[in-house]
Structure 1
Amino acid sequence: MSEFPYERLRRFPDVEASNLQAHDATDLLLVDRGLDLAADRGLTGAEIVVIGDGYGAITLALMDAGMAGLRVHQDLATGRRALAHNAAALGLVRTPDGDGVSAEAEPGRAASHPESGTRFVPHELDAELLTGARLVLLQLPKALAELEEIADAVARWAADDVVLVAGGRVKHMTLAQNDVLTRSFARVQAQRAERKSRLIIADGPRDVPETPPFPVRETHVLTAFAEPVEVTLAAHGGAFAGARIDIGTRVLLDVLDRVPSAGVVLDLGCGTGALAAVYALTHPDARVIATDRSAAAVASARATMAADGIADRVQVTHDDAGSELPDASADVVLLNPPFHLGTSVHTAAATRLFEAAARLLAPGGELWTVYNSALAYKGELTRLIGPTEQVHRTAKFTVTRSIRA
């Protein structure tokens, strides 16, 4: 078997930079241990599940080694598209005309190669992903709540003899992760660190509660409006801030009553959907769209809209920076941009969303943005969107209003 060309993998269409890589040592450890366990257990791919594969390094290396029918769950839309692009670039999957250019594989639809059949099938984090699985390879998530939801899902739906191999960079790993895994598995054993990464092996799935632990829900009463607004937020494990209202979103909510009434309002990078839900509750005639690149966020936002009785009035989509929405289609964009890419601090994530807002806003439309004041985005917003003014400022956060030129 030839050495897999990890160096050829790209992050595209995600942010690419010299300090951002498309694979790490943990991917290599997971592949090596996964192939060893697959050989020991006679697995050829269909009983193997890969979760959290950032840009396809794990999935594609397994495919290159001959595994077929892999089931894959990636949270980010950018990761799903990168996996498809990388698979096509390496010739591991092809479109029916054989041109080597692969569109993003949708959940439940197999990505195939005409000579070797089904190679991998994308799924959401659900029973279809895990039923009958005997080996699960997991890149450890940052949030303990996300790990809890994944561990519960594996214990809930996978085969009784399933082995979960979870890996991460040592500097980001904690004993609390072992504790979380112990709630769902009888045996949890950390392995010796290699190349600054470490694997944790878990097996012996425990009995699970009848009802899955996620999404969680929390009701908030907002008093910054003429009349108090009650909103219930729902959150899956991978949703930022859970069912709480993070401090940046709360600062923008404090001035949301100043945002004009509009025909089409877009919550860009919606998270659990707090901004979209509150705007819809206070503007019943508006068409509201909420979009996020995280599948956990999208599932959370949909659950939020259902909890607040507005699912029929708010469209929630899983997309990369609103890429599937038409140009100049929004009158107002609401945005609380992230400043992290995975475990790296990187402002390029916000820049991509500013650029997306510039494309999506109709002329004269408004972008309302909240950001950490230290990041000083006003100049960039003026350049990319148009005239920008400060609307509100706290000790840590700034809210600006930009008019699309």
Structure 2
Amino acid sequence: MSADTFDLSRLRRFPDIEAPNLVAVDASDRLILDEAADLIAASEPGTVVVINDHHGALTLGAVALHGARDVRVHQDMLTGERALENNAADAGLAGTYRHLSLVPELVDGARVVLVQLPRGLDALEEIAQLIAAHAHPDVRVIAGGRVKHMSRGMNDVLGRSFANVAATLGRQKSRALVASGPTPSPSGESTFPKRSVDDERGLWIVAHGAAFAGPQVDIGSRYLLTFLDRMSPSARDAIDLGCGTGVLAVELASARPELTVTAIDASDAAVRSAVETAEANHLAERVEVVRQDGLSERPPASADLIVCNPPFHVGATLAPDAALRMIRGAAKVLRDGGELWTVFNSRLAHAGALRRMVGPTEIMGDNDTFTVTRTVRPARKGAR
């Protein structure tokens, strides 16, 4: 594929999960690009921004179909970034964009911002506040999504940061919201990240908009934490896999001073939140936070303890493969005799996968909503 023959339908999700019910490009990508076509074509280099692009359709479509140059891009998920890189290389479009975190530099002076609507209103609010505070006063925001995942609350969120918000006509079960006239707060300060203290645990939690569960302990992690004192008592190092805001990692570090703790997540919002959660609890020197795609970059047999509250959705789609990838990675990274502690929705059949992929698995608790398991990594063949 080259820029001259660019075809959105040829984009792939890889290295993100690929399955028949998961697509790299959907109708909302095409709608956003069509609605923004004239704006992009008339834009100066460096004034087009793309936020929440799933696998590169918005970024590469803006470049190859409408002539955008020096596009600034923010993708929360690392797998999305890598899918964009792969698709750009295949299309001969590498170097036409640059990745940035959700920071003022991303939108400074922007005149056209394309957004795939996040599902969470907090995530959208953080994006809207950032654009309103730092983009050009004439900025136009085209934010689209699948109608079944949109709500009136999205209009209200955008309306708090922009004077004008209008919806496009629906097309192929997709719709876009067009916002203009930024109205930043008088102080120019964002309300993110949000902070709260969990009174039960005496724990400060810091959360950016797209971080799972926000500034609170989600009920699955809260249940897993009741088993904290039983987790691999002799462990030297631990990994909080899919760390979110870093609650499990911080609680491990606080309760177990002898542990070296690493928090891992593919989400930029999660990693930024976990860093700030560790700092808020005076544990920044004890908790290393890393943005990685699961355990793919960790060396084999390098951890004694892994704790995990795995996802069971990819976006809005039920996709157990996300959890299975984490389980498979744990089997590689655990040392012989190491423990994997997992909490998951009780209706999911993860216990069988844990036994097959990692080793002997015991159900430690089931409260009818969540199940907590302990899995021990058996000795590898040939090990002495």
Q: Please say whether Structure 1 and Structure 2 have the same fold, judged by a TM-score greater than 0.5.
A: yes
Choose 29-38 or 189-198, whichever is displaced more. 29-38
Match of 1:97 in 2: none
- Report the residue type matching 1:148 in the other structure: E
Match of 1:248 in 2: 220
What does 1:74-89 align with in structure 2 at a 5 Å threshold?
74-89=75-90
Cα deviations by residue, 1:285-336 (Å, 9 ceiling, x for unpaired): 2100001011111111111001000011100011100222222111100000
Match of 1:59 in 2: 59
Structure 1: gaps (5+ residues): 94-111, 113-118, 223-228
For the structure 1 residues 170 and 3, does the alpha-carbon distance in structure 2 shift closer, same or farther, using more than 3 Å as the test? Answer: farther
Distance in 2 (alpha carbons) for counterparts of 1:308 and 1:386: 34
Match of 2:202 in 1: 230
For the structure 1 residues 45 and 198, does the alpha-carbon distance in structure 2 shift closer, same or farther, using more than 3 Å as the test? Answer: farther
Q: Does 1:215 pair with 2:184?
A: no
- Report the residue type matching 2:260 in the other structure: R
Shift of 1:7: 2.0
Distance in 2 (alpha carbons) for counterparts of 1:277 and 1:136: 36
Shift of 1:245: 1.0
- Report the residue type matching 1:189 in the other structure: A
Which of residues 347, 357, 381 is equivalent to 2:330? 357
Match of 1:48 in 2: 48
Match of 1:7 in 2: 9
Cα deviations by residue, 1:207-239 (Å, 9 ceiling, x for unpaired): 3244311111111144xxxxxx42111111101
Equivalent position SS for 2:347: helix
Q: Is the 8 A contact 2:40 2:68 kept in 1?
A: no
Which of residues 31, 34, 44 is equivalent to 1:32? 34
Choose 82-91 or 2-11, whichever is displaced more. 2-11
Distance in 2 (alpha carbons) for counterparts of 1:45 and 1:64: 14
Shift of 1:249: 0.7
- Report the residue type matching 2:306 in the other structure: V
Structure 2: gaps (5+ residues): 379-384
- Report the residue type matching 2:22 in the other structure: L
Equivalent position SS for 2:202: strand
Match of 1:205 in 2: 182
Equivalent position SS for 2:284: coil
Q: Is the 8 A contact 2:266 2:294 kept in 1?
A: yes
Distance in 2 (alpha carbons) for counterparts of 1:218 and 1:253: 18
Number of corresponding residues: 373
Distance in 1 (alpha carbons) for counterparts of 2:23 and 2:188: 40
User: RMSD of the alignment, in Å?
Assistant: 1.3
Match of 1:125 in 2: 102
- Report the residue type matching 1:205 in the other structure: P
- Report the residue type matching 1:258 in the other structure: R
Q: What TM-score do you get using the length of structure 2 for normalisation?
A: 0.95
Q: What TM-score do you get using the length of structure 1 for normalisation?
A: 0.90
Q: Does 1:258 pair with 2:235?
A: no
Distance in 1 (alpha carbons) for counterparts of 2:11 and 2:376: 39
Distance in 1 (alpha carbons) for counterparts of 2:139 and 2:127: 14
Equivalent position SS for 1:399: strand
Distance in 1 (alpha carbons) for counterparts of 2:260 and 2:69: 43
What does 1:229-308 align with in structure 2 at a 5 Å threshold?
229-261=201-233, 262-308=235-281
Shift of 1:2: 5.9
Distance in 2 (alpha carbons) for counterparts of 1:207 and 1:60: 30
Distance in 1 (alpha carbons) for counterparts of 2:100 and 2:32: 20
What does 1:315-330 align with in structure 2 at a 5 Å threshold?
315-330=288-303
